[in-house]
Amino acid sequence: MRAYQVTSHESPPSIADIPRPEPAKGQIRIRIRACALNFGDLLMIKGTYQDTPELPFVLGMEVSGEVDALGPDTEGPAIGTRVVVFGGGGGLAEYGCYNANQAVPLPDSMSFEHAAAFPVAYGTSHVALDYRARLQPGENLLVLGAAGGVGLTAVEIGKLMGANVIACARGADKLEVARKMGADHLIDAKTDDIRTAVKALGGADVVYDPVGGEQFKAAFRACRPEARLLPIGFASGDVPQIPANHLLVKNLTVMGLYWGGYMAFKPSVITDSMTTLFRWYSEGKITPHISHSLPLDQAAEAYELLRSRKSTGKVVVTID
């Protein structure tokens, strides 16, 4: 089968012909139809992601497709069932094997592309804002990187939860995408002073930050008393250091969120969240924003869109 494989951290991935995997006990094999790309994939390519597999490996954390085969003594989902899986890897291939209990059947109305774009971005934002930060109606939610894969879903979910959403992104085009997803206020990270702009709006009650660096520092200083800050990632490449004495002065709370980590120690958090999110999707309350969809042969170009930050929302690779 064809797969987009990493064989070295010093050279770029490439399309390779590798053996089609066979499902073990407790696993299913999926005929993959779509795979969404994530910033963590870029770190895996360099070998710096917290869960980078051993070489060689196939990229692609989020996949959707049809169940193609069951492992020995494995019950369902039945062959032919349309499913989505957050597998952590292996998605940029024609077939992949995953634990059967990781597969979530798709609503009839959901396309494979929407399904692949769904788990990480929506799951991260919903667990962060609902389970971790306990975002309340009327609170000021500041979303950094608001036009990116997770940032845009935070705008959409925050608005759905009744927050006053302040979206921060680079450039008018990206801010327009955030506005269409429900942002109430827009801050241009290229030209505006984030701290001054947020304080002029009354300060932030919750900060959702997949960027880090100087933007985190500015948001930190624009927080209201008892604000909650959510470091989601560090797309800037700069992991900020948090002055503990400032936490005391304003009674601030900083809470980390690694969505995939709940798979290992508290999977009910993810399954409960997915139940809510799929219901919202079926009700038409949320819709994935996919700025680019490319075939497997153009996987390198797809990753370059992510790397150069020319995409908004999600980038999806389709596999025929």
Indicate the pairing of strand 140-144 with strand 164-169.
parallel
**Contact between residue 70 and residue 100 where contact means Cβ atoms under 8 Å apart:** yes
CA–CA separation, 101 vs 74, rounded Å?
A: 10
Helical H runs in the chain?
39-46, 112-116, 119-126, 149-160, 172-180, 194-200, 213-221, 244-250, 262-265, 267-282, 299-307
Return the pLDDT at 268: 86
Give whole-number Cα distances, 182 to 80, 190, 195, 320, in Å.
37, 21, 21, 34
pTM greater than 0.75 (yes/no): yes
Same fold, 2-118+288-318 and 121-260: no
Say which DSSP state 243 is in: -
Token pair, residue 158, equals 């925050």
CA–CA separation, 12 vs 7, rounded Å?
A: 8
CA–CA separation, 152 vs 160, rounded Å?
A: 13
Q: The domain 121-260: what is its CATH number? A: 3.40.50.720
Token pair, residue 235, equals 């797309």
Return the pLDDT at 267: 83
Q: Find the helix or strand (DSSP H, E) in which 291 lies.
A: strand 290-295
Residue 185: count other Cβ atoms within 10 Å of its Cβ: 17
pLDDT tens track, the chain, 320 positions = 999 999 999 999 999 999 999 999 999 999 999 999 998 899 999 999 888 899 999 999 999 999 999 999 998 899 999 999 988 899 999 999 999 988 989 988 999 999 999 999 999 999 999 999 999 999 999 999 999 989 999 999 999 999 999 999 999 999 999 999 999 999 999 999 999 999 999 999 999 999 999 999 999 999 999 999 999 988 888 899 998 998 999 999 999 999 988 888 898 898 899 889 999 999 999 999 999 999 999 999 999 999 998 999 999 999 98
Tokens 């089968």 belong to which residue?
A: 1
CA–CA separation, 245 vs 209, rounded Å?
A: 21
Return the pLDDT at 83: 95
Q: State whether residue 227 is helix, strand or coil.
A: strand
Say which DSSP state 297 is in: G
Return the pLDDT at 147: 93
Q: State whether residue 311 is helix, strand or coil.
A: coil
Return the pLDDT at 178: 96
CA–CA separation, 178 vs 165, rounded Å?
A: 10
Return the pLDDT at 235: 84
CA–CA separation, 88 vs 108, rounded Å?
A: 25
Return the pLDDT at 263: 81
> Per CATH, which fold does 2-118+288-318 belong to?
Quinone Oxidoreductase; Chain A, domain 1 (3.90.180)
Return the pLDDT at 264: 82
Name 249's Cβ contacts closer than 8 Å, sequence gap at least 6.
none
Q: What is the pLDDT of residues 293-319, one digit of tens each?
A: 999 999 999 999 999 989 999 999 999
* Domain spans, the chain: 2-118+288-318, 121-260
CA–CA separation, 229 vs 94, rounded Å?
A: 40
Of 227, 231, 226, residue with least CA distance to 206: 227
